[in-house]
């Protein structure tokens, strides 16, 4: 006789909607990519197969220009944050490399 909640877990509809918007944007981008690759090429055939699998989940016109702009802005913000974090990690790594191991003598110091 274990304790259980009265209701089961429910999906987060907001996250689901955001995911569907991103999926719609990806389908749109794959559609735009297809003429560049050519439907007869091996990559083009893979794109066609992917489009046929994903298109059943995305209604035509479901990605509005505003949603597209929002997704693009979110991606740009994430890239800026990632770049700043990477820069901080590089600086920390360089400082550790220049100073040697923490608590130890600086690199280049000679024992007498």
Residue-wise pLDDT for 60-106, tens only, equals: 777 888 888 888 888 899 999 999 999 999 999 988 876 655 555 55
Q: How confident is the model at residue 112 (pLDDT cuts 50, 70, 90)?
A: very low
Domain count of the fold of the chain: 2
| Residue 7 in domain | no
| Residue 112 in domain | no
Mean pLDDT of all residues in the chain?
83
| Residue 108 in domain | no
- Token couple for 38: 């050519």
Query: Do 32 and 43 reside in the same domain of the chain?
Result: yes
Q: What percent of the chain has pLDDT over 90?
A: 43
- Sign of the torsion angle spanned by Cα atoms 13, 18, 20, 21: positive
pTM score: 0.59
| Residue 111 in domain | no
Query: Do 72 and 47 reside in the same domain of the chain?
Result: no
Owning domain of residue 68: 64-97
Q: Is 13 left (phi over 0), alpha (psi -120 to 50) or beta?
A: alpha
């Amino acid at each position: 006789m274990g304790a259980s909640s009265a209701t089961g877990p429910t999906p987060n509809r907001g996250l689901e909607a955001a995911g569907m918007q991103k999926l719609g944007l990806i389908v749109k981008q794959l559609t735009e990519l297809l003429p560049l690759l050519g439907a007869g090429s091996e990559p083009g055939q893979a794109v066609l197969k992917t489009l046929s699998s994903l298109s059943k989940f995305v209604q035509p016109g479901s990605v509005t220009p505003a949603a597209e702009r929002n997704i693009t802005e979110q991606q740009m913000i994430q890239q800026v944050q990632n770049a700043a974090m990477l820069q901080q990690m590089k600086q920390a790594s360089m400082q550790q490399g220049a100073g040697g191991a923490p608590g130890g003598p600086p690199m280049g110091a000679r024992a007498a």
